[in-house]
Structure 1
């Protein structure tokens, strides 16, 4: 089976997905580029095609509105894009963190290549953390990722990690605070992204303020059932139909005491416990072809979407 994660590096404990090469902390960007498999470039060339070979005037022609992106090291094609498409190089993703790690106390935590080079990312610790009651520690990170296959704009966002279970949750609150997206139709400007994200540094405090209140919001059995029924439902001809189901049952079991940290005061019988059960389900328990496919979904795909829906639903309980 083809792997979604082609290469990656990490520091500290082995990540929840169990993938990658371990590095010691405070390695230079150059080492990260090599060990994370990001020391190559995205090249581009015009789309060319051969006209009908049976025609007397057959020739190699160029389609001027499109170009092919390919890897400099393997020559493998990555995608076909418009001429307006602005490439963001794997090395640029790492270079984004150079001044943050050298002057602002950030530490690169993971970086790597997904889907044969179509998607690359790097994740760094910000140094921010909050200890909720019962020693439930949550740490702050910044994730920068891009894709050249049309699945993702270049995206910088604050991300939280619940240490007891390594569950990840993107911090996207009111008015998009905590996330900056740069479409590939425009030039990626790292400093502009940092400036815009810097305006949202208070997002961490706002996020943890709400997490604290979620940890204090007691939830009845009926409210918990309604939460999962709403979350695991599809719209069919105007009617919400629960996906009754193994996923819903598994998430409910995690909430009811089988999840990591489910017995902590912050999680047991609380709205935060509901949210934690979903992040754990997505990161650790949801069916996936492999752990690397699980990572891709949890950060960028359907898993990330379900986490955001769960965050919105749990925050609605505070209203």
Structure 2
């Protein structure tokens, strides 16, 4: 992991309730800024706005240079490019051998403070300012039982999230300690609709799991369109879903812990989840390494072994492997994990794990 990535994660993410779950695994004291980014309790709303969302996302004008104009009109120095539908799509001026063009069909969105550009969008795209959609909306449900547990920026500010949590950890009769979350996330690069969804953080491993392990969790998505503000009431109503997370996840854990997975079934699951037969040499090598690590987790790791020979142990093994051991390219592991959480990768992973296990158990019955 590069120093720049560590610095970003330690200055552009905020982590709360560390008295209950410990420090984030990317924490480095040497990379903390003037203010530490870890909080013993809840993160104040004003700190999220002051430290992370203090800047505005703004629209700009797309300017392009061309070597030669397409068509010269009567007006001296003015040129127009005409699209196939006959509409003038760009207007530009000759700048002494180079042509500067303003594209009226698409506009850039970027940070007002740094000028960094996140993407180019067609007319109709609506910017969802982080302060409004991730803080003001979420603040409507905050009370003594619901507080901000984490917040941050990813990809240079192109994506952002705020997580609402309960102050106390919850432990199921099966020994699974977890924290229910409402994850609010959005983007300025076109990668995410504004999304409010239920997730769970398992304390023993700091992993994110889907609240409903058998299917993608309950969520609401708002596209970045000119009609998005009309759905504000729907958003506020949907935020109440956080209150259902604890009971739903505890029920899932109970069901999975009561589902026996024999050693024969575990080996059959590995064959289905990470098959070796019929694969290329490289794929066989990767699958073999994954199977070996999953088996180590299953038998010996404190994050998985307590639930060995249960369906929950299978889910925990795959989720823990993906969070902590799976090879990562093009990003740091903490950033990759958070991106997966906000984009829905966690939901898909857990649902696919349960579906594969159900198929295996059915074939053995």
TM range (shorter): 0.7 to 0.9
Change (3 A) 1:138 1:219: same
Corresponding position of 2:24:
15
Corresponding position of 1:61:
101
The two structures have a TM-score, normalised by structure 1, of 0.83
The 8 Å contact of residues 126 and 142 in structure 1, kept in 2 or not, is answered as no
The two structures have a TM-score, normalised by structure 2, of 0.74
The 8 Å contact of residues 177 and 200 in structure 1, kept in 2 or not, is answered as no
CA distance in 2, matches of 1:221, 1:24: 42
Change (3 A) 1:82 1:275: same
Corresponding position of 1:156:
196
List aligned pairs for 1:269-288, cutoff 5 A.
269-288=309-328
How much has 1:129 moved relative to structure 2?
Answer: 5.7
Tell me the SS of whatever aligns to 1:255: helix
Corresponding position of 2:209:
169
List aligned pairs for 1:232-243, cutoff 5 A.
232=274
List aligned pairs for 1:1-319, cutoff 5 A.
1=2, 3=5, 5=9, 7-11=12-16, 12=18, 13-18=22-27, 21-35=37-51, 37-52=52-67, 57=78, 58=94, 59-92=99-132, 93-101=134-142, 103=143, 105-126=145-166, 130-172=170-212, 177-185=217-225, 186-187=227-228, 189-198=231-240, 201-202=243-244, 204-232=246-274, 244-258=287-301, 260-264=302-306, 267-288=307-328, 289-300=331-342, 304=346, 305-314=348-357
Q: What whole-Å deviation, never above 9, does each CA across 1:139-195 have from its counterpart, x for those lacking one?
A: 211111112223222111111112222221122567855211222234154542231
Tell me the SS of whatever aligns to 2:127: coil
CA distance in 1, matches of 2:260, 2:243: 29
CA distance in 2, matches of 1:62, 1:129: 54
The 8 Å contact of residues 174 and 257 in structure 2, kept in 1 or not, is answered as no
Tell me which protein shows more strand as a share of its residues.
1
Deviates more, 1:131-140 or 1:303-312: 303-312
Q: Which has the higher contact order (CA 8 A, sep 6+)?
A: 1
CA RMSD between the two structures: 3.2
Change (3 A) 1:28 1:297: closer
CA distance in 2, matches of 1:252, 1:108: 36
Q: What whole-Å deviation, never above 9, does each CA across 1:16-59 have from its counterpart, x for those lacking one?
A: 34377113434432212223x22111111132223435786525
What is the total number of aligned residue pairs between the two structures? Answer: 311
How much has 1:62 moved relative to structure 2?
Answer: 2.4
The 8 Å contact of residues 142 and 158 in structure 1, kept in 2 or not, is answered as yes
Give ranges in structure 2 of 5+ residues lacking alignment.
Answer: 79-93
Give ranges in structure 1 of 5+ residues lacking alignment.
Answer: none
Deviates more, 1:296-305 or 1:6-15: 296-305
